[in-house]
Amino acid sequence: METEKTQQFIQNIQNVGEIAREQQLSISQQIQSNLNQSSTFITDSKRLENLYNLASQLQQAAMQGISELKANANNYRQIIETMEKECFEELISQDMQVIQAMQQAISALAQAQNALLQSNSISKMFDFISKCENTFTQIENGNTDLNQ
């Protein structure tokens, strides 16, 4: 009987560990997804800041008059080409974000279902912990009757 109590205790602890590990892995995946999205936002922000700075340079040159634009035409043409390139890259990035957002919307239901399953898992883990506590208390008190 004592061996059965110990086995029961060990099984409950293993169940808690398995559920905790599954939940930890799920949360780690969510964190990674959020980090990837944050990285995209940082890249977009830098690209847009660069576009703003280039536009400011052109605006300042234009304020100096046509003679300034003509005198440094190659430089300003290069700025415009850089802006076109940056804008095109940002357009692609935004299009990709639209696709990702649509995929995320589709997976939102799966995430909601996963959250419900996680809640159930946490409840089961709590039950196993309670069983561990009860079994441990019985072991501690020397009670080896499995029915109590």
Burial letters for 41-72: b for 16+ Cβ neighbours within 10 Å, e otherwise?
eeeeeebeeebeebeeeeeebeeeeeeeeeee
Long-range contacts, stretch 62-68, CB < 8 angstroms, 24+ apart: none
pLDDT of res. 57:
94
pLDDT of res. 84:
96
Tell me the whole-structure pTM to 2 decimals: 0.59
Contact 41, 34 (CB under 8 A): no
Contact 83, 51 (CB under 8 A): yes
What is the share, in percent, of the chain residues with pLDDT greater than 70? 95
Report how far residue 44's alpha carbon sits from residue 26's, in angstroms, rounded to the nearest whole number: 28
